[in-house]
Amino acid sequence: MEQTLKTDGFSIGLDAAAVDAMYNNTLKDFSVGSIVPGKVLRIQDDEALIDIGYKSEGIVDGDEFEDIDTVKVGDTIEVFIENLENDYGMVVLSKKHAEQQRKWDHIVNDCEEGSLVEGTITRAIKGGFIVDIGADAFLPGSQVDVVPVRNLDDYIGRTLQVKIIKINKERKNIVVSRREIIEESRREQKLKLLGEIKVGQLRKGTVKNITDFGAFVDLDGIDGLLHVTDMSWGRINHPTEMVKVGDEIEVMILDINLDKERISLGLKQTLSNPWQDIDAKYPIGTRVRGKVVSLAPYGAFVEVEEGVEGLVHVSEISWTKRIQRASDVLKVGDEVDAVVLSINTDDKKISLGMRQTEENPWEVAAHKYPIGSLVKGKVRNFTSYGAFVEIEEGVDGMIHVSDMSWTRKINHPSEVLKKGEEVETVVLEIDAVNQRISLGLKQAQEDPWACINDTYKEGQKISGKVTKLTNFGAFVELEDGIDGLVHISQISDAHVEKVKDVLNIGDLVEARIVKIDPVEHRIGLSIKAAKIADEDFEISEELLTGLRPGEEMVDLSSAFDGLLTGNEEWHPGQKAE
């Protein structure tokens, strides 16, 4: 008849004679550290009284049994002799130590470093896990998988195949690794995969790691790089916008380097290219609606469909506003309407215009404000050469200093106008292409020179005040805004070296008109001719010295022509540099 010797984890079949032989060992066979069979004599107070054939019995605590209620009197169990006699004269026995020793002996005798065994992870400890492979073994955290373990609790209770990498018999330590098994399997799979894959194939993989420049995808044994530029046909700032670790994705094999075992992958290549026939889909002039996805100082990038963006340059945002930066009027996420201006399919570029979705106010202005029409507006700003007048929202006209007064030489517009002042002007010219309207302030007023011959006659005597002195003569005010010139030769019968030696600003003088030129806006005066009797006076060549066209400066406007630099002026009809 065969009896079974029970140990937790092992069952040893023995015939009755063998059991009796073990049980009837003599005293010389008993020593501390030995494993011997024993018979259960009694179960009492959660303890088992065991007879090992020694002169005294031993007790095994009930906690050392999986379930002491299943133990029966007469059962044979293996026990470990820890002490042959305690203070009460009894043998100190341990069932657990016997089991642990049997398991250890099995590992040492039947397994070696490099062996593959199955084990169950029983608990987590500092640095890794305890794995029951028949004996407790240590599984370092770094050896659990090829990727870092994020949640230790996920592994508790799992049965895994592990590799024995170290056995220390003296310390009874065993170290195992699961990672080496995985890596070896992956190496085999990698070699197999490298022989199978081809450029253009579609493969499924798992996102293993993400960097700023892309993502590494596990293709079941070998990693491939999915570069950020191959993730989407559209714009993405970081790979995490498209994938995350653990995602299962389908990718296309773009390139294979067998020597370096490198594989380049593409995600966008698995989708249709939105730029295919884009010029047919969005002909020039097509109105589109899209979302602002990025801003630059020079413009805004607008996504018109997934993977297709167009640029709205700052100059194409508004007809009337002078926009310095796109961010001044737009923000990421804005929905905008635009018109396709041009398409470059090779460079995948679309030029868009937002202002083209609205009526061009400058084209309207050409019909709304015909040349010669009177318009009112508010003075908005000054430059050294003129004033800008807003005639409607977003549409400004410019009054050049030369068109501000019929009679005065204006050096700066502030001499005549104030900011915010409402003025009436005449439209002189419209340039819709360059978005300019030339206005005239003096043209909206009566020209005093138009009827000058009705007011003054050559030979007439006048009285006036000296207003300006030059090296060639003095200007005398006849009435508001109209001056006449007394040439230096006409101041006195005596020779005059310098005008300021004879005349001062503010002096009241009497003079005779010797020349009227309404076209050139000139009046010539002679102080010394005023002394001649009316009946004896006649105009002579000598009286007209310095008053002929082409000779010295003889009018107030010409006297100060050099005070302004022509580089910063803009005149009607002149295009922007």
Write out pLDDT tens, residues 321-362.
778 899 999 999 999 999 999 998 888 889 999 988 888 777
Which sign does the torsion angle of CA 63, 69, 70, 74 carry?
positive
- Tens digits of per-residue pLDDT, 165-194? 888 777 778 898 988 888 887 777 777 777
DSSP codes, 191-229: HHHHHH--TT-EEEEEEEEE-SSEEEEE-SSSEEEEEGG
Q: How many C-beta atoms lie closer than 10 Å to residue 417's C-beta?
A: 19
Contacts of 313 (CB under 8 A, 6+ apart): 298, 299, 351, 353
Residue 530 has a pLDDT of: 86
How far, CA to CA in Å, does 98 sit from each of 4, 29, 74, 102, 336? Answer: 16, 16, 19, 6, 81
Q: Can you spell out the DSSP letters for 531-554?
A: GS-GGG----TGGGTT-STTSS--
Of 198, 224, 218, 190, nearest in space to 206 by CA: 218
Per-residue pLDDT band at 558 (split at 50, 70, 90): very low
Q: How far is CA 276 from CA 22, 199, 268, 307, 342, in A?
A: 87, 22, 13, 11, 16
- pLDDT above 90: residue 30: no
Q: How confident is the model at residue 576 (pLDDT cuts 50, 70, 90)?
A: very low
Contact 161, 181 (CB under 8 A): yes
Q: Residue 545: what pLDDT?
A: 66
Interval 19-24 mean pLDDT: 49
Q: What percent of the chain has pLDDT over 70?
A: 89
Per-residue pLDDT at 295 exceeds 60: yes
Structure token digits, residue 500: 């300021």
Question: Does the pLDDT of residue 151 top 90, yes or no?
Answer: no
DSSP state of 529: G
As a whole number, mean pLDDT of residues 438-450 equals: 82
Domains and CATH numbers, the chain: 2-101 (2.40.50.140), 113-181 (2.40.50.140), 197-270 (2.40.50.140), 278-357 (2.40.50.140), 361-444 (2.40.50.140), 454-561 (2.40.50.140)
Residue 507: per-residue pLDDT: 92
Q: Which amino acid is at 543?
A: L
Cα 516 from chain centroid (whole Å): 71
Pair 490, 525: CB distance under 8 Å: yes
Do 95 and 63 contact (CB within 8 A), yes or no?
A: no
3-state DSSP assignment of residue 525: strand
Write down the pLDDT at residue 547.
Answer: 60
Measured CA distances, 278 to 342, 446, 546 (Å): 11, 61, 73
17-31, 78-92, 494-508: which is most confident: 494-508
Residue 550 reports pLDDT greater than 50: no
Q: How confident is the model at residue 6 (pLDDT cuts 50, 70, 90)?
A: very low
CA of 81: how far to CAs of 24, 90, 271, 307, 486, in Å? 16, 11, 73, 78, 143
Q: How far is CA 44 from the centre of its chain?
A: 78
| Burial zone of 23 (CB within 10 Å; 0-12 exposed, 13-18 middle, 19+ buried) | middle
Tell whether the model's pLDDT for residue 271 goes beyond 50.
yes
Instruction: Give the C-alpha distances (Å, rounded to integers) separating 20 from 1, 29, 37.
Output: 12, 14, 10
CA distance 294 to 334: 10
> How does residue 256 score in pLDDT terms, banded at 50, 70 and 90?
confident
CA distance 1 to 3: 7
* Distances in whole angstroms, Cα of residue 225 to Cα of each of 252, 253, 270: 11, 10, 15
pLDDT at 508: 93
Q: Is 279 helix (H, G, I), strand (E, B) or coil?
A: helix
- In the prediction, which pLDDT does 314 show? 92
Span between the terminal Cα atoms of the chain, in Å: 118
pLDDT, residue 571, reads 42
pLDDT of residue 82: 85
Contact at 8 Å (CB) between 307 and 268? yes
- H or E stretch covering 366: helix 361-368
Average pLDDT along the chain = 81
Q: How far apart are CA 91 and CA 48, in angstroms?
A: 13
* Closest among 513, 519, 515, 522 to 558, alpha carbons compared: 522
- Percent of the chain surpassing pLDDT 90: 20
Least confidently predicted of 7-11, 55-59, 108-112, 507-511: 7-11
Residue-wise DSSP of 554-577: -SHHHHTGGGS-GGG---TTPPP-
| Residue in the block written with tokens 């030369």 | 402
Q: Are 79 and 36 in contact (CB under 8 A)?
A: yes
State both tokens at 549: 């066209």
3-state SS, residue 167: strand
Residue 202, strand partner residues:
252
Per-residue pLDDT, averaged over 505-524, amounts to: 87
413 or 540, which is more confident: 413
- Distances, alpha carbon 474 to alpha carbons 7, 226, 491, 506, 537, in Å: 134, 86, 9, 11, 22
Q: Are 9 and 16 in contact (CB under 8 A)?
A: no
- How does residue 265 score in pLDDT terms, banded at 50, 70 and 90? very high
Phi first, then psi: what are they for 223, rounded to 5°? -95, 140
Per-residue pLDDT at 366: 76
Q: Residue 480 has what pLDDT?
A: 64
pLDDT(302) > 90: yes
Token match 């008109």: residue? Answer: 513
pLDDT confidence band for 570 (50 / 70 / 90)? very low
At residue 535, what is the residue type?
A: E
Query: Greater confidence, 261 or 251?
Result: 251
Residue 352 is predicted with a pLDDT of: 94
Q: How far apart are CA 81 and CA 60, in angstroms?
A: 11
Q: Output the pLDDT for position 548.
A: 55
Reported as a single tens digit per residue, the pLDDT across 60-78 is 888 888 888 888 888 898 8
